[in-house]
Amino acid sequence: MTGMLIGYARVSTAHQDVTAQRAALHALGVAPERVYVDQGLSGATRKRPGLTTALAACRPGDTLVVTKLDRLARSLPDARDISAELVAREVALSLGGTVHDPADPVGRLLFNVLGMVAEFERDLLRARTREGMAIARDKGRLNGRPPKLTPAQERHLADVHAAGTHTVAELAGLFDVGRATVYRALDRARARL
């Protein structure tokens, strides 16, 4: 590997820790001050400030280092975009220590195959989550978010609205909820009549 090593780490939620990825990047030779991180951002979204900064830090001959491809891209289009940017910047990619040159036909093929695998994993996770939610809903364990207003508050809101003294926006302010919540509460009150 020639040039500098630029590291990138990402975790999907704010609760997750990047310590393991930082340690792995350090073991791969990346200096701690050259590690860029996105915390609480999905790999499916392309707008990641840490990734943007990491790519901007790369110069021709440098190598972008990630521990696994799914930390970098979770869809084939995203993997292709990043690959195109790496090629344009003349930057190699190191996945867990194995260096791939996205400009090389074999490197590009491997990168695309790995991108398809990452997208496939993400689709499987999404399908399993939907399946689990459907089972929970069928068993009555998934009822959604609880209402912001208690039934007594909803009745009071409906009474005030029926009196015609306040607009929906004013009711939203009085009850410290959004207008959509007011409309839902009014719909539920009408359904009870």
Catalytic residues: 12
- Pairing verdict, β 63-66 and 5-11: parallel
The whole-angstrom separation of Cα 78 and Cα 69 is 11
* Contact predicate 43/10, CB 8 Å: yes
Angle at 77 between CA 29 and CA 40, to 5 degrees: 60
* Contact predicate 76/112, CB 8 Å: yes
* Contact predicate 92/127, CB 8 Å: no
